[in-house]
Structure 1
Amino acid sequence: MKDIELCGLGNGLVDLQFLVSDEDLIKSDLQKGAMVLIDVEKRNRLVKDFSHLEFHKVSGGSAANTIISFAQLGGKGAYKTVLGNDDFGDFYAREFHDLGIVLNAEHIETAPTGICVIFITPDSERTLYTCLAATAEFSSKNIDEDIITRSQWLYIEGYKFSEPHSTEAIYKAVEIAKKHDTKIAVTFSDTFVTELFRDGLMKVVEASDLVFCNEGEAKSFTKSDSREESFKILCDMVPNVAVTYGSEGSKIKWDGKIYDIPSFKVKPIDTTGAGDSYAGAFMYGIIKHGDAAIAGKLASNISSRIVAQMGPRAKFDMQNALIEILSDLK
């Protein structure tokens, strides 16, 4: 019985958000606006150096944010990842329990839970230092056939293709999904994934039912400089496609039909997690309503609201927003 509607497979990270000054970044020799991968030693030093400041802690990861958005709208979600056997791992598990999401995660002893240390300066610019740690240990042995079998859809995070053993785990998950009639969605996550790990990603794209990406990722993956051509190439590869164009909206191919979805005009504050929430809301619309036009407009509206706030987790009531949006679409 497929009692889970959407199961995500991706990184398990705890976000630590600090409000800092430019001087704080300079003092700790941190590059403003950077997105940097760091090792456990630097992770521990950063947490110690800024421990005197208040911080906001929230569980995350790209696919995790998608599953959270999906669950907040009322979908039945699950998430597959790897955590450390530590306080951050326990925090992550508690949050997912409180969100009503089935968390399928091993707590390993060999590495701490991955964290993303986010420094936000007064001009709202974000500086990210990420330590994958335990979540980088994800491998084929962590794949649970039962959770995939029980799911209507499997949603795969593109960032996982950056680790060879995680890529093998994804292949195994795709094989299980195909065996048990679980549909497959994949998100490209970032242009560095489409540029450096295209071959591994291609293998999964060709087996997928749905692809999510933004314009830059679409062009990079298809090796085309044209918006129209890159969309067409993707449509020739995959049955269903959703490409986002920022403030210019998005374009969807679903069941052979093309939908141009307008954006909702807001004053952007923070674009972090916009694509993740778009995917979560789109999947909710497709699974619950079976209508790509409704799904696209719901996704566009929800992601626009996320852009108008700080951080990827909705600070508004998603259920009330859903009622309001669906009412406007009637």
Structure 2
Amino acid sequence: MTKKYQVIGIGNAMVDVLAQEDDSFLTTAGVEKGIMQLIDMDRAVDLYSRVGPAQEISGGSAANTIAGIAKLGGRTAYVGKVKDDQLGAIFAHDLQAQGADYTTAMAPKDAVDETGRCIVIVTPDGERSMNTYLGVTEFLKPDDILPDDMAQADWIYLEGYRFDGPDSHAAFAKAIEACKSAGGKVSLTLSDPFCVERHRDAFRTMIQDHVDLLFCNRAEMLSMYQTDDFDAALAQCASEVDIVACTDAENGAHILQGTARHHVPATPVKIVDATGAGDMFAGAFLWGLCEGYDLPICGAMGNIAAGEIISHIGARAQADVKDMFAQAALL
């Protein structure tokens, strides 16, 4: 029986505020380069006042992944909390416009916290330094997880950043139980090396007990298994998870299942903004998997899609990615 959804994503519902600045700005503003830092509302206001002209684009890691799958024609839904405010309205509109279902109850207008936003400083080398005010999305609760929807998903896609919320672990547990009990599968993205540092034990438990497909990059993989030996970390992970999809920047991606390992070369692209590359890799990979393509093809799709994302500002695709797959003879 065909389920209503191929993939449901659960994550931090954010609006990205993208600004291009040089490295000296990072120093002056006290921003650590290349990582995601959690900030409070006062810091968000201060940073926003410092940056030059900025673009406001709906983001959030899992939301970007779901938007990517929806744009490819996949059947998707998203769970994440915004407030009934201007940025919340932008977020909901943009996701629904891609074709994804999004019905998570908004926090009311009089809520103390606002819709989350990530102030992304993009330096000339394409590196992004993310400053995240979670706002109301931090307070996603188990009540926001609808078991009937989770049971209607072939896959759920869990965002590692979401582990920072106080009720996140319970919300994820509820989603996993509902999905798995109906024959669905669980995918997880580790999101960020510092996220792994904060939640390594919880990640390891979830990976060993529930995860069928793990997405990560090289730095996250090494952090998870606390080693400098990349091959050893990959092998350890492959012994714990059915499918591992690990990106390695310009070196492409490593896809593992059991004892099989595939290396998929990267698509050469000039980096304009790396924001969302991993999100779109996961989206294209999951779409390919749901459509029945083999793992190396899914990896190649992921690399092509990630290449499209890094070629412009913003974490949502601007070109017809499916057409790019066709041009590469993947379809």
TM-score (ref. length: structure 1): 0.90
CA contact (8 A) 1:155 1:185 kept: yes
Q: Does residue 295 of the first structure (1) align with residue 294 of the second (2)? A: no
Q: 1:171 aligns with which of 170, 173, 179?
A: 173
Alignment-derived partner of residue 16 in structure 1: 17
Give the whole-Å Cα distance in 2 for the aligned partners of 1:295 and 1:116.
29
Any idea what SS the aligned residue of 1:105 has?
Answer: coil
Give the whole-Å Cα distance in 2 for the aligned partners of 1:75 and 1:181.
19
> In structure 2, do the counterparts of structure 1 residues 78 and 216 end up closer, same or farther at CA, with 3 Å as the change threshold?
same
Alignment-derived partner of residue 274 in structure 1: 277
Alignment-derived partner of residue 41 in structure 1: 42
Alignment-derived partner of residue 138 in structure 1: 140
Any idea what SS the aligned residue of 2:305 has?
Answer: helix
Q: How does 1:54-133 map to 2 (within 5 A)?
A: 54-109=53-108, 110=111, 111-120=113-122, 126-133=128-135
> In structure 2, do the counterparts of structure 1 residues 255 and 212 end up closer, same or farther at CA, with 3 Å as the change threshold?
same
CA contact (8 A) 2:128 2:275 kept: no
CA contact (8 A) 1:171 1:204 kept: no
Residue 307 of structure 1: how far off its partner (Å) = 2.3
CA contact (8 A) 1:138 1:165 kept: yes
Give the whole-Å Cα distance in 2 for the aligned partners of 1:107 and 1:222.
37
Residue 141 of structure 1: how far off its partner (Å) = 1.9
Any idea what SS the aligned residue of 2:138 has?
Answer: helix
CA contact (8 A) 1:96 1:103 kept: yes
> In structure 2, do the counterparts of structure 1 residues 173 and 20 end up closer, same or farther at CA, with 3 Å as the change threshold?
same
Residue 102 of structure 1: how far off its partner (Å) = 0.5
Give the whole-Å Cα distance in 1 for the aligned partners of 2:197 and 2:204.
11
> Which segments of 5 or more consecutive residues in structure 2 lack a partner in the other structure?
none
Deviation string, structure 1 residues 170-223 (Cα, Å, up to 9, x no partner): 112111112111110011111112222112112221211111111121121122
Equivalent residue letter for 1:94: H
> In structure 2, do the counterparts of structure 1 residues 22 and 209 end up closer, same or farther at CA, with 3 Å as the change threshold?
closer
> In structure 2, do the counterparts of structure 1 residues 175 and 169 end up closer, same or farther at CA, with 3 Å as the change threshold?
same
Give the whole-Å Cα distance in 1 for the aligned partners of 2:124 and 2:322.
31
> In structure 2, do the counterparts of structure 1 residues 125 and 260 end up closer, same or farther at CA, with 3 Å as the change threshold?
closer
Any idea what SS the aligned residue of 2:99 has?
Answer: coil
TM-score (ref. length: structure 2): 0.90
Give the whole-Å Cα distance in 2 for the aligned partners of 1:22 and 1:82.
33
> Which segments of 5 or more consecutive residues in structure 1 lack a partner in the other structure?
none
Residue 65 of structure 1: how far off its partner (Å) = 1.2
Residue 44 of structure 1: how far off its partner (Å) = 3.7
Residue 120 of structure 1: how far off its partner (Å) = 3.8
Give the whole-Å Cα distance in 1 for the aligned partners of 2:72 and 2:226.
35
Give the whole-Å Cα distance in 2 for the aligned partners of 1:149 and 1:17.
36
Equivalent residue letter for 1:36: Q
How high is the sequence identity, in percent, across the aligned residues? Answer: 32
Give the whole-Å Cα distance in 2 for the aligned partners of 1:128 and 1:251.
26
Residue 104 of structure 1: how far off its partner (Å) = 3.1
CA contact (8 A) 2:304 2:325 kept: no
Deviation string, structure 1 residues 94-153 (Cα, Å, up to 9, x no partner): 111111101132211322110112234566554432210011011212111122111110
Give the whole-Å Cα distance in 1 for the aligned partners of 2:148 and 2:171.
15
Q: 1:216 aligns with which of 219, 233, 240?
A: 219
Give the whole-Å Cα distance in 2 for the aligned partners of 1:59 and 1:82.
13
Alignment-derived partner of residue 31 in structure 1: 31
Q: How does 1:122-271 map to 2 (within 5 A)?
A: 126-206=128-208, 207-254=210-257, 257-271=260-274
Residue 297 of structure 1: how far off its partner (Å) = 1.1
Equivalenced residues, count: 325
Residue 239 of structure 1: how far off its partner (Å) = 1.1
> In structure 2, do the counterparts of structure 1 residues 180 and 268 end up closer, same or farther at CA, with 3 Å as the change threshold?
same
Any idea what SS the aligned residue of 1:17 has?
Answer: strand
Equivalent residue letter for 1:33: K
CA contact (8 A) 2:252 2:264 kept: yes
Residue 82 of structure 1: how far off its partner (Å) = 0.6
Give the whole-Å Cα distance in 2 for the aligned partners of 1:241 and 1:313.
24
Give the whole-Å Cα distance in 1 for the aligned partners of 2:73 and 2:325.
9
